[in-house]
Amino acid sequence: MEKVMAVAKSALYAAGFTDETGFFAGAFPALADAIVKNHIFMERGVSETNYDYKQIIPYTVVKHKDAYLLLRRLGKQGEKRLHGMLSIGVGGHINENERRGGESMLIAGALRELNEEVRVSYVQNPVFMGFLNDNGADVGRVHLGLVYLLTADNAAFTINETDKMEGGWAAADELADKLPAMEGWSRILIESGFIC
């Protein structure tokens, strides 16, 4: 049975988290510390309907020059609530095998998930940009996004799971035109001005 990282919302509230929907740019040391110190690994099926916890999801946006990697989730993708939607981020759960210590486990989770879905060439690890929360949809109510930005050093990329997604590069102004087809987190990031 798969177990995923989750943190009690009470621990997040104590660190200054609110249930407000949006992208919160910048470093929030108290919140990051609360995640590192208070996380547990919960059965995924249980965590999807337990609204007292937030599953921690690294969500990596890939950029090359002035374009962003835009992905469409196909019908065989695991999260049925997101089928057919567009996404500018690659996200996924942090599993028990990423137990390390401190924030390194969060970066490890972000890179593992990215490499499972997409191969891109980069020199530096992704940079943490802020937190993402969406209480407007069922899928968002049980997840908290850690937004990372990865700068690709060339335009070559490979989608590893072609039965689950397709994609290509899109300029910022193209992304704004596609907002109605975006999944919630991508829509929030674009509307927040994160993409420029």
Q: What sign has the CA pseudo-torsion 41, 127, 161, 164? A: positive
pLDDT digits (tens, 9 = 90+) for 113-171: 899 999 999 989 999 999 999 988 777 789 999 999 999 999 999 999 899 899 999 99
Q: Is residue 92 a part of any domain in this protein?
A: yes
CB-based contact 30:13 (threshold 8 Å)? no
Q: How many domains does the chain have?
A: 1
Report, in angstroms and rounded to the nearest whole number, the Rg of the chain calculated over CA atoms. Answer: 16
For residues 89-103, average pLDDT: 76
pTM over 0.85: yes
Domain with 33, as residue range(s), is 3-191
Q: Is residue 54 a part of any domain in this protein?
A: yes
Return the CATH number at 27. 3.90.79.10
Q: Which amino acid is at 6?
A: A
Q: Is residue 196 a part of any domain in this protein?
A: no
27 Cβ neighbours under 8 A, 6+ residues apart: 128, 130
Q: Per-residue pLDDT for 98 more than 70?
A: no
